[in-house]
Structure 1
Amino acid sequence: MAKNYIGLEIGNGITTMYQGGKKGKILVSRLPENLVDDGEIVSPELLSQFLKKMKKEGKFSGRACALILPEFSAYFRSLEMPAISEKQLRLNLPYEFRDFVGNESINYNYDYAVEDYVTDEDGKVTAIRLLAASASKETIKEYENLLNRAGFKLKVALPREMALLNLVRKAIERGAPSDRTFVIIDVGFTNTRVYIFQGEDLKATKTIEMGCRDVDSVIADYYNIDVYLAASYRETDHEGILESDECRAVYNRISLEVMKAINFYKYENRQSEFEDCFICGDCSDTEALVNNMLAYVRLKRESLDVILPEESRGLSDAPRALMSIGVTL
Structure 2
Amino acid sequence: MAYLGLDVGTGTVKLAVVKGTAVQKLCCSMLTAELPREGQRVACSDALAKELRELIKRENINVKSCALVLPPEAAFVRRVTVPVMTAKQMKVNLPYEFHDYIQQGKEEYFYDYAVVDTLEDPTGNDAPKLDLLVAATPKRVIRQWRAMLRRAGLRLSVAVPEYLAYRNLIRVFEQANSEDHPKEYCIADLGYRSIRVHMYRGCAYETTRVIEYSDVSVRQLAMGPQEDANRLSVREHYSQIAVEILRAVNFYGFNTPDSDLKDIYFCGRLASSRELMQILQDTLRLNIHSVAELVPNDDAAAAELCPEAVGAALEMSGR
TM-score normalised according to structure 1 size:
0.85
Within-5 A mapping of 1:203-218: 203-210=206-213, 214-217=217-220
Show CA shifts across 1:7-47 (max 9, x none): 00110121100012355211101122522423522421111
**Range that drifts further, 123-132 or 257-266:** 123-132
Residue 265 of structure 1 and its aligned partner are, at CA, apart by 2.4
SS in 2 for 1:113: strand
Structure 2 counterpart of 1:38: 38
Q: 1:77, 1:135 → 2: CA distance?
A: 12
Structure 1 counterpart of 2:7: 9
Structure 1 counterpart of 2:131: 129
Structure 2 counterpart of 1:227: none
Quick one: structure 1 residues 69 and 176, their matched pair in 2 at CA, closer, same or farther if it must change by over 3 Å? Answer: farther
Q: Is the 8 A contact 1:14 1:282 kept in 2?
A: no
Q: 1:154, 1:167 → 2: CA distance?
A: 20
**Aligned: 1:195 with 2:163:** no
The amino acid of 1:17's aligned partner reads L
Q: Is the 8 A contact 1:6 1:66 kept in 2?
A: yes
Within-5 A mapping of 1:16-35: 16-21=14-19, 24-35=24-35
SS in 2 for 1:20: strand
Structure 1 counterpart of 2:71: 70
Q: 2:280, 2:40 → 1: CA distance?
A: 29
Structure 2 counterpart of 1:328: 313
Structure 2 counterpart of 1:57: 58
CA RMSD in angstroms comes to: 2.6
SS in 2 for 1:316: helix
Q: 2:23, 2:162 → 1: CA distance?
A: 24
**Range that drifts further, 117-126 or 50-59:** 117-126
Residue 280 of structure 1 and its aligned partner are, at CA, apart by 1.4
Q: 1:211, 1:17 → 2: CA distance?
A: 29
Within-5 A mapping of 1:101-116: 101-116=102-117
Structure 2 counterpart of 1:96: 97
Structure 2 counterpart of 1:299: 286
- Give the fraction of aligned pairs with identical amino acids, expressed as a percent: 28
Show CA shifts across 1:158-180 (max 9, x none): 11111111122222222156871
Quick one: structure 1 residues 281 and 216, their matched pair in 2 at CA, closer, same or farther if it must change by over 3 Å? Answer: closer
Residue 294 of structure 1 and its aligned partner are, at CA, apart by 3.0
Structure 1 counterpart of 2:158: 156
Q: 2:214, 2:16 → 1: CA distance?
A: 23
Q: Is the 8 A contact 1:66 1:156 kept in 2?
A: yes
Tell me how many residue pairs correspond in the alignment. 309
Q: 2:53, 2:175 → 1: CA distance?
A: 35
The amino acid of 1:144's aligned partner reads R
Q: Is the 8 A contact 1:190 1:214 kept in 2?
A: no
Residue 198 of structure 1 and its aligned partner are, at CA, apart by 1.5
**Aligned: 1:314 with 2:299:** yes
SS in 1 for 2:103: helix
Q: Is the 8 A contact 1:190 1:211 kept in 2?
A: no
The amino acid of 1:262's aligned partner reads V
SS in 2 for 1:37: coil
Residue 186 of structure 1 and its aligned partner are, at CA, apart by 1.2
Structure 2 counterpart of 1:224: none
The amino acid of 1:78's aligned partner reads R
Structure 2 counterpart of 1:47: 48
Structure 1 counterpart of 2:141: 139
Q: Is the 8 A contact 2:33 2:48 kept in 1?
A: no
SS in 1 for 2:282: helix
Show CA shifts across 1:248-267 (max 9, x none): 33222222111011122234
Q: Is the 8 A contact 2:15 2:28 kept in 1?
A: yes
Residue 308 of structure 1 and its aligned partner are, at CA, apart by 2.1
SS in 2 for 1:283: helix
TM-score normalised according to structure 2 size:
0.87
The amino acid of 2:27's aligned partner reads L
Quick one: structure 1 residues 313 and 79, their matched pair in 2 at CA, closer, same or farther if it must change by over 3 Å? Answer: farther
SS in 2 for 1:155: strand
Q: 2:64, 2:216 → 1: CA distance?
A: 32
Q: 2:76, 2:258 → 1: CA distance?
A: 30
Quick one: structure 1 residues 271 and 100, their matched pair in 2 at CA, closer, same or farther if it must change by over 3 Å? Answer: closer
Quick one: structure 1 residues 238 and 254, their matched pair in 2 at CA, closer, same or farther if it must change by over 3 Å? Answer: closer
Residue 144 of structure 1 and its aligned partner are, at CA, apart by 0.5
Q: 1:188, 1:163 → 2: CA distance?
A: 16
Quick one: structure 1 residues 23 and 70, their matched pair in 2 at CA, closer, same or farther if it must change by over 3 Å? Answer: closer
Residue 146 of structure 1 and its aligned partner are, at CA, apart by 0.5
Q: 2:127, 2:51 → 1: CA distance?
A: 49
* Structure 1 unaligned residues grouped into runs of 5+: 220-229
